[in-house]
Structure 1
Amino acid sequence: MAEGVNQQPAVKAGVSPADVGGGVRTAVGGAGAVFRLFLEVLRGVFRRPFQFREFIEQSWFIASVTILPSALVAIPFGAVVAMQTGSLVQQLGAEAYTGATGVLAVVQQGAPLVTSLLIAGAAGSAVAADLGARSIREELDAMRVLGIDPIQRLVVPRVLGMMLVAVLLNGLVSIVGISGGYVFNIMLQGGTPGAYLMSFGALAQLPDFIMSSIKALIFGLIAGVVASYCGMNPKGGPKGVGDAVNLGVVLTFLLLFFANLILTAMYLQIVPPKGS
């Protein structure tokens, strides 16, 4: 009599609880490492000697790779916002507030986000690539052996430079975006200069511009810290540098949108709308 063959049940391919737990631990550990780097950067700002020359050089480099793209993006962005908001307010019968809606959309949301995305994409990738190349060449370890803190020497000037340029670019994008929206509103939507400016003055207030600058400052800080962390911790040699750059850009984008949500909610709760 033939003996029956015991067949083992097939193991279904999938994600095990151990894999999920490992991923969560890795994410939490990475978040903690980024926060620790932020604290070290904050401490390094007040340590002497301050690397002023490195700060100027990095600020100039960051500005040189972001000014032209920011201006080119701001023109169509302001025009699109003006046309879209203008069309909506006209459908609602509030043509008198076309200028205010377009300007506030650019100042409160558009300019900080456009600036931060360009800072993260252009400057952040360059910073991550530079620090990653130094890391795989063991320059950072050599600096530590010589008693030089690479965070104070390299990271702090780059983070402060990204914060400074982010605030300046935010003003540039706001001006260019508002100007582009103004021109398109007058030329394509039949608006008048007086009505555009009057509606802007009726709803806009000084805290709107202050909050826009604060957002840009915080976004520049986030982009600088994340790019520096990813650049200082590449894995896998030269290929790991490219992976670190891509990871830094993606993480920065996610954190920027999350931070924008929190800052916007806080602002709307603290500062009441004008005329309310």
Structure 2
Amino acid sequence: MSDTASGGLTFASLGSGSKGNATLVSDGETHLLVDCGFGLKETERRLARLGLHPRQLDAVLVTHEHGDHIRGVGPLARRHQVPVYLTPGTWLSGRLGELPHRHWITPQARFAVKGLSIDPITVPHDAREPVQFGIAGGGRRLGLLTDLGHPSAHVVEAFAGCDGLVLECNHDRRMLAEGPYPASLKRRVGGDWGHLANVQAAWLLQRLGLDRLQRIVCSHLSEHNNRPELALEALVPLLDGDDSRLRIAAQDDGLAWQTLG
């Protein structure tokens, strides 16, 4: 495992976007994988790139049942006997197959996996029982916040006080409007139960407050309806032009280990 993940609360991305999403969170002893939207072999390859073997994972946390978040969950859990934590609604979608070690979670009910404390937080998204997560350890808190159609008051309250934030910047509204998607898909993506636009991410970030945030990661960028520079352009003004706290979680390369000190 990378030296950057040997102490404190750390996180990394295996990849983020419409083709697959997965995020690692660790305190150096407990290793969580949040979602697994890549096939088994690709997941193993991407984990190895970040210095982990699948059998080092203590749990997989599942946000919701869409394919870009669960494609590899079942195969990974079955091959490597990894416990999976998910809401009953996500399980009842019928898309995960047999899970040898399945644990129910309840939105807004905190639970722990070894040394990490986890808050599953309800978000507005077009899935059966979707959640996102606040994960705390070592006196630091990381918010994982993607796949939501609008920044509700509940979301603002639940994600306040984070030291790091993985934040959806799915689309640029103009690119979505002028892009190749059919009208029905444009309405879904841009609707209140779809995905956050760059401007909505900026609004949410402003409401959450910036003083405590050490790392802000733009994630779940659309391949067709966004560009990294547009996401950064939306957020940098909130940081007085200083982009040193900003990162991009890329679809192919993910994001290397980040430490919240």
TM-score of the pair, normalised by structure 1: 0.20
Greater relative contact order: 1 or 2 (C-alpha under 8 angstroms, separation 6 or more)? 1
Radius of gyration: which is bigger? Answer: 1
TM-score of the pair, normalised by structure 2: 0.21
- Structure that is richer in strand per residue: 2
- Structure that is richer in helix per residue: 1
